[in-house]
Structure 1
Amino acid sequence: MAKVKVKQEEALSVKFSHQMGTGDQRIFDLYFFLPNEMGIGSNTLDEEEYYHSAVIGRRSYYSQGLHLPLVQSRFASLNKRTLEEFRLYLNLFAYQFAVAIETDVKELRQKTEASDFYPGLNELCEQVGQLLKKFRRNEPSEEKWKSYFEHADNYLSWFCEQQLLKTLAHGPRSAEFAEISEKVINLCRAENVYREEEKRYNSAQTRQDANRISNKMLLLRRLIQQGVVLKEELKPLGVGLKKFVTGLATGLVMLVVSALIIKAQGFFNGLTMTLVFTLAVIYGFREIFKEDIRNAMWRAIQRGRPRWSRVLRDTTTQSVIARQLVWLEFIRPQDIPEPVQNIMKQRHSQNKVETTPLHYRISTKVTNKPFEAGYTLIQEQVNFSLVPFARYLDRGKAKIYREVDGKISNESVERRYQVNLVAVLKDGKNPPEYARFKITMNRSSIIEITESNLPDNVNPFSIEQESS
């Protein structure tokens, strides 16, 4: 079984996902080696800003595959299953169903050829129809359970319809596959009739107002996530230390400024225009260098320290499930671990360009207490958007010229960049394991993500690279 799954998400993002069980202690490092020609570094990209805007994580309980936990045998006896357990099993299925549809649809939208797009759409349409039927066959008869089921059923029906219609609307046009298009539209129509006429889940007033129906479905989505998606409490570290550094930097600058002022007053007799001008210059230099000195001191003190701490809680019981520490910073070449340096030395000679390393680390300690409702794993998904990198890249205006039978033609070519990525995984006291990827990208999209070979003396970890 793969320890980490890697896949391209949308045009300019990469997603990593992995699972952890009770008592696990894991450190996951990512080293992005950004070519200097990209112009990205600590002077142009603020790490904290990048983390909050472009690194998106989601942590939730996880169950292997898309199981149907709502079989009658599991809930045949009220004495064996409580209402809360029923709701948690229901939410787990509905949440994983929604996430699976979301993932498949994103992959499908990246296919631009009709011959690839429509067979995939047809398969997705069949899967959605079958899963919805199986889900509804296990509708509970008990009234106190029914409202939870109806909320999930209403949302899944609407969400599947919206995802299929959106995919069809943005897909390639082809009269050859009109039959598949009609099949998808018929399923969407049937779901609409099921919700609005057969079950009457939503009032006429709600259906007619796009804002109201959208907001209602967002509410239902949050209800479904209850007990499955973990509550996150993120806290920045070093706030007090940063204030101390600011005060210390200001004090040092003022010490120098005061010495210069005393010297200037001794040099000039009395209050003259020359003295006033000299004092103005001294204070001007103080303002210029104060921020630079503060930033330099803070970067030196902060180097290697975690930037954030995160507590993950069960949304139902509020009990702590895991604690995490997060690092994100541009690092110096000498701070790169030796095994990672050896991996990068294996690059082809033409790819050995000067790079700026960006280091991301997340250290997780999972509680030893059993999870709720029989869950055995939590899943962490971290999505890195490369859009902040892409805005610094050249569009590329070069042309390639060809001569055929005396006629000269030209073709525009795009400027491509290669980002090397080394992943390091360390479980508990086990030795670290490694993987290396090459991300080829241009200003508008990721062209490909390929896994590279490692040196023989490096321990690799199992990777599942999902096709995009």
Structure 2
Amino acid sequence: MAKVKVKQEEALSIKFSHQMAPGDQRTFDLYFYLPTEMGIGSHTLDEEEYYHSGILGRRSYYSKGLHLPLVQSRFISLNKRTLEEFRLYLNLFAYQFAVAIETDGKELRQKSDASEFYMALDELCDVVIQLLKKFRRNEPSDPKWKSYFEHADNYLSWFCEQQLLKTLAYSPRSSDFSEVKEKVLSLCRSENHYREMVCKYNSMQTQQDANRISNKMLLLRRLIQQGVVLKEELKPLGVGLKKFVTGLATGLVMLVVSALIIKAQGFFNGLTLTLLLTLAVIYGFREIFKEDFRNAMWRFIQRGRPRWSRILRDTTTQAIVAKQLVWLEFMRSQDIPDTVSEIMKQRHSQNKVDSTVLHYRIATKVANKPFEAGYSQIQEQVNFSLVPFARHLERGKAKIYKESDGNISNESVERRYQVNLVAVLRDGKQQPEYARFKVTMNRSSIVEITESKLPDNIQPFTLESESSLNEDTQVVDHHQVEP
């Protein structure tokens, strides 16, 4: 089984996912080598701002049930449980169902061949129909249980309809598959009729207002995530140290300023205009250099220290599942580990350009006790948005000229950049394992992600890259979790 899975997510983002078991201690490092010509560095990109706006993580219980057919094969009766167990396992199934159809729909929308697209869409439609029927056959009769079922049923019906309609909206144009298209539309109409006319889950005002129905379904989604997605408590580190550095920097600057003032008073006799101008210049330089001096001191002291701590809790029991430390900083070349530098030295000579290195590290310590509900693993997914990088890139303005039969034509070409990415994985006290990627991107999208060969003396970790990883693993099992 792959230790880390890598895939392109949307146009300008990369997603990494991996799993951990109770008692695991794992450190995961990413070194982004950003070419200097991209103009990205500590002076143009604030690490803290990028962490909160460009890095999105999700941690949840995990199982191998990835796609809708696997969800169907794992469905079990929910009625043979207590009320609390029923609610927990109902949420688990609904969440797994929603993520599975979202995953399959996303994969389907990437297909450009019409026959392949509609064949897969037809299969997806069949599986959705079967799963919804199987789910509704287990509707409880007890009123205390029924409200939980109705919330999940309402959301799944709406979400399936939305995913199918969205997939059809991106379908390749073809008149040869009208039967499949009509079959999907018929299912969407029947689900809409089921929600609004048969079960009357949503009021007329909610049905007619897109904002209200969207917000209601968002609330239902949060309800079914209860007990599945782990609660995160993020805390910035070094707050007190930063205040101390600020005070120390201010004190040192004032010491210099005071010494200059005393010297100026001794040089000039009495309170003169020249003395006032000199004092004004001294205070002006103080304001100019105080912030720079403080920032330089803080960056020096903070170098190599974690920036944030995170506690992951089970949302049902509030028990601590794992603790994490997070680093994010621009690194100096002398601080980069020797093995990472050796990997980058293997590049082709034409690709050896000056780079700025952005380093991300997350160290996780999972609680050494069994998880709730029989789960044996948790999964972490981290999505890195490259949009803040793309903002600094130049638009392609060059043109390539061609001659044919005396006629000259031209074609606009885009400016592309290559970001090298080195990943390092270390489990406990084991030896680190490595992987390297080349991310080719332009201002609007990631063109391709390719894995590069490592030197023979460096151990790679088991990896699924984008070419073989067209599946999302953010799902959970109902009853048993496979390791």
Q: Tell me which interval the TM-score lies in, with the shorter structure as reference length.
A: over 0.9
Whole-angstrom distance in 2 between the partners of 1:239 and 1:39: 29
Contact 2:16–2:383 under 8 Å retained in 1: yes
Secondary structure, counterpart of 1:454 in structure 2: coil
Deviations, residues 349-383 of structure 1 (Å, cap 9, x unaligned): 11111111100001111111211111111111110
Alpha-carbon distance in 1 for matches of 2:392, 2:246: 31
Give the letter for the 1:275 counterpart: L
CA contact (8 A) 2:71 2:97 kept: no
> Offset of 1:75 from its aligned partner?
4.4
Instruction: Deviation per CA, 1:199-228: give whole Å up to 9, x if none.
Output: 222232322222222222111111100111
The answer as to whether partners of 1:71 and 1:138 remain within 8 angstroms in 2 is no
- Asked whether the equivalents of residues 71 and 96 of structure 2 are also in contact (C-alpha less than 8 Å), the reply is no
CA distance in 2 between counterparts of 1:43 and 1:119 reads 51
Segment drifting more, 333-342 vs 194-203: 194-203
In structure 2, do the counterparts of structure 1 residues 406 and 461 end up closer, same or farther at CA, with 3 Å as the change threshold? same
- 1:67 is the counterpart of 2:71: yes
1:6 match: secondary structure: strand
| CA pair 292-404 structure 1, distance change in 2 beyond 3 A | same
Counterpart residue number, 1:17: 17
Listed one character per residue, the Cα deviations across residues 8-50 of structure 1 (whole Å, up to 9, x for unaligned) are: 1110000111111111111111111101110000010000000
Q: Which amino acid aligns with 2:329?
A: E
Q: Which residue of structure 2 lines up, in the alignment, with residue 235 of structure 1? A: 235
C-alpha contact (below 8 Å) 2:19/2:378 kept by paired residues: yes
Give 1:323's aligned amino acid. K
Letter in 2 for 1:270: G
Instruction: Provide the secondary structure at the position in 2 that maps to 1:18.
Output: strand
Alignment of 1:80-229 (within 5 A): 81-111=81-111, 114=114, 117-229=117-229
Cα separation, 2, equivalents of 1:118 and 1:165: 13
Tell me what 1:454 maps to. Answer: 454
Alpha-carbon distance in structure 2 between the residues aligned to 1:435 and 1:41: 24
The offset of 1:159, in angstroms, is 0.7
Pairing 1:36–2:36 present: yes
| 3-state SS of 1:300 partner | helix
Question: For residue 436 of structure 1, what is the aligned residue in structure 2?
Answer: 436
CA distance in 2, matches of 1:172, 1:137: 35
Partner of 1:274: 274
| Residues 273-332 of structure 1 deviation map (CA, whole Å, 9 limit, x = unaligned) | 111111111111111100110000000000000000000111111111110000000001
Whether the aligned pair in 1 keeps the contact of 2:27 and 2:363 (CA below 8 Å) is yes
CA separation in 1, counterparts of 2:83 and 2:75?
13
CA contact (8 A) 1:70 1:90 kept: no
Find the residue that maps to 2:383 and give its secondary structure.
strand
Q: Tell which deviates more after alignment, 144-153 or 30-39.
A: 144-153
Residue type at the aligned position of 1:318: Q
Query: Counterpart of 1:96 in structure 2: which amino acid?
Result: Q
Cα distance in structure 2, aligned partners of 1:137 and 1:67: 16
How far residue 167 of structure 1 moved from its aligned partner, in angstroms, is 2.7
Shift of 1:117: 4.3
1:252 correspondence with 2:252: yes
Match of 1:351?
Answer: 351
User: How far apart in 1 are the matches of 2:409 and 2:177?
Assistant: 35
| Cross-structure match for 2:302 | 302
Deviations 1:137-182 (A, max 9, x none): 3333444333222211110110111122123234444334333322
Instruction: Give the stretch that moved more between structures: 164-173 or 219-228.
Output: 164-173
Deviations 1:55-76 (A, max 9, x none): 001111112214355423x744
- Counterpart in 2 of 1:421? 421
Match of 1:51 in 2: 51
1:397 aligns with 2:397: yes
Which moves more between the two structures, 52-61 or 83-92? Answer: 83-92
Compute the TM-score of the two structures, normalised by the length of structure 1: 0.95
8 Å contact 1:234–1:311 — kept in the other structure?
A: yes
Aligned CA-pair RMSD: 1.7
**Could you report, residue by residue, the CA deviation over 1:230-253 in whole angstroms, capped at 9, with x for unpaired residues?**
111000000000000001111111
Partner of residue 366, structure 1: 366
The whole-number CA distance in structure 1 between the counterparts of 2:414 and 2:115 is 26
Aligned partner of 1:338: which letter? Answer: D
Secondary structure of 2:71's partner? coil
Q: Aligned equivalents of 1:294 and 1:255: distance in 2? A: 14
Q: What's the offset of the Cα at 1:445?
A: 0.3
Offset at 1:53?
A: 0.4
Task: State whether residues 10 and 106 of structure 1, in contact with CA within 8 Å, keep that contact through their aligned partners in structure 2.
Answer: no
Query: C-alpha separation between the residues in 2 aligned to 1:119 and 1:385?
Result: 32
Unaligned runs of 5+ in 2: 471-483
Tell me which moved more, 229-238 or 338-347: 338-347
Could you say if the C-alpha distance between residues 111 and 282 of structure 1 is closer, same or farther in structure 2, counting changes exceeding 3 Å?
Answer: farther
Deviation at 1:94, TM superposition (A): 1.2
Unaligned 5+ segments in structure 1 are none
Contact 2:14/2:384 (<8 A) preserved: yes
